[in-house]
Structure 1
Amino acid sequence: MRFGVNYTPAEGWFHSWLDFSPSAVARDLEQIAGLGVDHVRVFPLWPLVQPNRTLIRASALDDVATVVDIAASFGLDVNVDALQGHLSSFDFVPSWLESWHRRNVFTDPDVVASTADYVQALSAALAGRPNLLGVTLGNELNQFAHAPHPTPHAVTDREAGNWLATMVAAARRGLGAPVPDAVPAPGLPSGVGREARRTAAPSVTVAQYDAAWYDDAQPFGPEHAAEHGDMTVTHSWVFNGAARVHGPLGTGSVRHGEYLLQLAAAWNRTAERPNWLQEVGAPTNVVPVDDAPAFLEGTIRHAVEVQQLFGITWWCSHDVARSLADFPELEYDLGLFTNDGRRKPTGERFAELARAFGDGAGAALERLAPPADALVLDDVLPDGRRAPDVRATAAPGGRFSLAWVALAESLGRGPQVVLRSRAGDSGLLAERGIRTLHDVPADTRAVHTAVAHPATMP
């Protein structure tokens, strides 16, 4: 098991890249390392690194590399996000993509080429560091592709796939990794010890917010997450409707991270592809502060039993300072530490679980057999055509989602998910350890469907 946190600088939030302070970073990372975690995910701001389409600031790349080196001094591995993109309700898009220079980030040839240059340059600046866990293309760039973003960049699903393939290839070139002609084979398997991982090539991953799984109109979909990069990444936030349907500590809330991992795994083409819960937190707009430690523990204890789980990376390390204006209220209280570095009850609980499920206990989890039961998701109609609402029914409160929660309560463990189009593949089912298939009961009624709104998202 890999346990980590998404690093939010205590001093100046991500604006701290403007006044980069190695000593402030070291103070934060020392506190984080004290939790017993093994990695952090960091977020350089794209407009600061590439302020002009043909200018990539070497000093900004050096600052990112310095953070990776400081993390190494505390025994922490680092995953670096390339394109920010979107953070805590704010968009960070270079000026050469806005207003007078408005161009489509996903389809304009010059923009795509320049963005790929940046991804490659950032990856190259970090390549060779033994504690580099990998590079993620960006924080939920799919939210720019469709409503409810106020000014979306229109893109088809095919164009979205082409963009992802271009960016993944750029990251791999920068890291000095092979760039395959086809969809790459699965990356690092879970269960590999930390030292062994550090001798392996860093991973390249794709991060999407959960409209990819829950909104049929979102151009970036499940196939993109499951077929690009080295792992399938999920971001779990129960303000997407789960907490309203199930309550803050209800089964469908504390199992939402587990559910989303299982839903995502259904789209993987191989049983061995790793799954990474890269973002999950306790949003206080739907989870009361007093319930947050219990929500955290329930989320983690259920998620760790998912097959091929690479790791869990909590959002986030430090609260946003109250001196900073215009954040959604929940953003000020998501940290495991207060803004002045005091460990919160959620931080204490997370540290306990990191010790409980660290490298030693992780070996036992790796020996845990995957769930033998699976719920079938109707991704195709009886005539073989793709179902028009396959994602909507899987959203919190949808028929499939409710059936999964009910089956998890009955079994005591969240079932796997199998696509109807693959339910007849006996070889794949055997590789996944699935012995019993369940259909969604005919009397299951959707009570609510919702897709997380980027304006309230970390």
Structure 2
Amino acid sequence: MKEFMLGVNYWASHAGTDMWRDWNEDIVEKDLKLLADNGLDVLRVFPNWRDFQPVKPVLGGGHSMREYRMENDQYPGNPCYLDEVMLERFERFCRIADKNGLKLIVGLITGWMSGRLFVPAALYEKNIFTDPTALFFQQLFIKGFVGRMKGQKAVCAWDLGNECNCMDQAHKREEAYSWSSVIVNAIKSCDQTRPVISGMHSLELEGVWNIQDQGELTDILTTHPYPFWVEHCQRTPLNSFRTLMHATAQTQYYASVGRKPCLVEELGSMGPMICEEETAADFLKVNLWSNWANGSPGVLWWCAFDQTQLTAPPYDWNMCERELGMVDVNRQPKPSLLCMREFKKQMDSLELELPEKQTDGVCILSRGQAHWGIAYMSYILAVQAGLTLDFAYCEQELPEAGMYFLPSICMDVMSKKSYFDLKKKVYDGASLYISMKDGFLTEFREFTGLKVITAEKSSRQGTFWWEESSFAYRKPYHIRLAAERAEVLAEDDEGNPIFSVASYGAGKVYFLNFPMEEMLLEEENGLEAPCYHFYEKAAEAVLGKRKIRKTNPYVGMTLHQGTDNTYAVLVNYSAEIQDAGILCPGSEKTISCLFGNVEQIEPFGAAIIRF
């Protein structure tokens, strides 16, 4: 695994988004030294598009277009319409970063930031993604800027720009794909030595801005997993189990579906109206350990400095943008920065190159679902059960695995080809878990060993008992079933099969007759019931082959097989000290603890063992 990036999104402490116009080299020097002294090694930075390419139209009679010039009607000093003063300032910035040992991820098309558009005047009335003039100037920007800055040692990656999908409206997937392709190709035509990072957030499986497309076109995907903004996430406090799992779940979801590494590019609490600063630091701490263990390239906080003293838009528009820094207005580090510094020290002392994590199973997201929400709940349940999940969209080629999950299926589920590919994997020996909303599965009787008696669009809810625990269920579609080949593991309160298992070839099909994952999305306290036992049961063949397991549902475990040793990283997703509940029959004498204490993992902390 490559070095884990620890960093922050940076605007100068005195000026925010106006830092290039209001350039103060002394303050920038102090900013970067403070950040480097506190253990950061990467900054994500933004050449404001408005300032670096201040091109405007010059009109003639009848509103006719005559030519493009720079601000104040100046002729451009270069064919890319870039401001020479801004370019020189960015070069000086790169030298300051290099002097402080800081690497830079550069967000190129920064036309959107913190709720405000920063596009050149020439493009005010044009669609940024589809208009030929807009595409022309964006390619010129990249040709001029990347061509000029690719010799700077501090630059480690090019980012498409900050959340570019917010700059304008792409009306269909083809428009989003084409724009992304144009920008990526422009970057790579100038510099093929550095990775291209997506910079996007809120991507979808079946939407306009698509995880699969970004994964195809860029080298590294990105998440911006703020619980406050991301759907389904801040239903519990920032330091609670469900919310603490969000960033890792979403990052693994993007990485698996996009089939590229995924960087946690913007992480933050959204300030003191969400929680106190110590809680924000706890939130960061668990996410550092968790995303490191799960193979993300790094974590960057939003943002470096508080911006309460700034008066220009967007800071005088949006109160929620002003107190998000790791450093306050008096230049004092907040607990979040001290947390990142401590994590850096721990990483340096460990000197551990963690092998790639092992994956136990694949969660298949099917057609028409709330994909992210279903993925989120499935990931949490799998972690509680001691499993490591990858994800796939149902129309992608499925990775090989011993265990597949098909959660909360609705209507047409997947294509015939995908369905038969999945059935063959089960027939050849894999296990499959299915939970039902209102999906249609052909050859259902043959596959599940169950027969549908009747089905109706009738909301039902109730409780049932299984393995000495009570479970609530709620479903919008009621199917009455009869077991033929299937073994009924649990019945609902009407005696209807609600959880069953049947052999299919050399494999097994587990069927849960309600959409547990979708139900849990709306249940603030739903995870207090041991719902993960259904995943544990379905995966018993996979878990049974493990040399080591954990039993505590608040502790996640990833396994990493090296040439000589296997490592287990155990992360405590709770505010209490936790005993991981390690089971390793016959292997106790081969285990050594490299970090922490597996029987007393500190709140939001981790333990690492080698065996």
Q: Into which bin does the TM-score normalised by the smaller protein fall?
A: 0.7 to 0.9
Length-normalised TM-score, structure 2: 0.59
Distance in 2 of aligned mates of 1:130 and 1:363: 26
2:279 corresponds to 1:262: no
Q: Is the Cα contact below 8 Å between 2:251 and 2:264 reproduced in 1?
A: yes
- For residue 274 of structure 2, what is the aligned residue in structure 1? 286
- For residue 166 of structure 1, what is the aligned residue in structure 2? 182
Deviation per residue, 1:161-196 (Å, 9 max, x gap):
111111111112232x2xxxxxxxxxxxxxxxxxxx
Distance in 2 of aligned mates of 1:259 and 1:92: 32
Work out which of the residue numbers 90, 109, 113 in structure 2 matches 1:64: 90
2:508 corresponds to 1:443: no
Distance in 2 of aligned mates of 1:335 and 1:274: 26
Q: How does 1:94-173 map to 2 (within 5 A)?
A: 94-98=120-124, 102-144=125-167, 152-173=168-189
Q: Is the Cα contact below 8 Å between 2:294 and 2:357 reproduced in 1?
A: no
- For residue 16 of structure 1, what is the aligned residue in structure 2? 19
Distance in 2 of aligned mates of 1:89 and 1:111: 21
Q: Is the Cα contact below 8 Å between 1:373 and 1:437 reproduced in 2?
A: no
- For residue 277 of structure 1, what is the aligned residue in structure 2? 264
2:124 corresponds to 1:93: no
Work out which of the residue numbers 305, 311, 331 in structure 1 matches 2:293: 305
Q: How does 1:303-452 map to 2 (within 5 A)?
A: 303-307=291-295, 309-324=296-311, 325-358=315-348, 361=350, 363-364=352-353, 366-367=354-355, 369-378=357-366, 387-389=367-369, 392-394=370-372, 398-411=373-386, 415-422=389-396, 424-426=398-400, 439=434, 442-444=514-516, 445-446=518-519
1:139 Cα shift? 0.3
The residue identity in structure 1 corresponding to 2:340 is: F
Work out which of the residue numbers 29, 44, 47 in structure 1 matches 2:47: 44
Length-normalised TM-score, structure 1: 0.78
- For residue 191 of structure 1, what is the aligned residue in structure 2? none
Q: Is the Cα contact below 8 Å between 1:84 and 1:139 reproduced in 2?
A: yes
Q: Is the Cα contact below 8 Å between 1:43 and 1:81 reproduced in 2?
A: yes
Distance in 2 of aligned mates of 1:446 and 1:94: 46
Secondary structure class of the residue paired with 1:9: coil
Q: Is the Cα contact below 8 Å between 2:362 and 2:399 reproduced in 1?
A: no
1:436 Cα shift? 7.2
Structure number with greater CO (CA < 8 Å, separation at least 6) is 1
Q: Is the Cα contact below 8 Å between 1:399 and 1:446 reproduced in 2?
A: no
Secondary structure class of the residue paired with 1:418: strand
Unaligned runs of 5+ in 2: 57-67, 69-80, 404-429, 436-511, 523-611
The residue identity in structure 2 corresponding to 1:108 is: D
- For residue 383 of structure 1, what is the aligned residue in structure 2? none
- For residue 228 of structure 1, what is the aligned residue in structure 2? 217
Q: Is the Cα contact below 8 Å between 2:308 and 2:323 reproduced in 1?
A: no
1:438 Cα shift? 5.2
Q: Is the Cα contact below 8 Å between 1:248 and 1:288 reproduced in 2?
A: no
Distance 1:68 1:437, change over 3 A: farther
Higher helix share: 1
Distance 1:136 1:31, change over 3 A: same
Secondary structure class of the residue paired with 2:385: helix
Work out which of the residue numbers 194, 199, 213 in structure 1 matches 2:204: 213
Work out which of the residue numbers 243, 252, 256 in structure 1 matches 2:242: 252
Unaligned runs of 5+ in 1: 145-151, 178-200, 379-386, 430-434, 450-458
The residue identity in structure 1 corresponding to 2:325 is: G
Q: Is the Cα contact below 8 Å between 2:158 and 2:194 reproduced in 1?
A: yes
The residue identity in structure 1 corresponding to 2:213 is: H
Distance in 2 of aligned mates of 1:277 and 1:421: 26
Q: Is the Cα contact below 8 Å between 1:120 and 1:170 reproduced in 2?
A: yes
Secondary structure class of the residue paired with 1:238: coil
Distance 1:312 1:105, change over 3 A: same
Secondary structure class of the residue paired with 1:17: coil
Larger radius of gyration: 2
Percent identity of the aligned residues?
21
The two structures, once aligned, show a CA RMSD in angstroms of 2.6
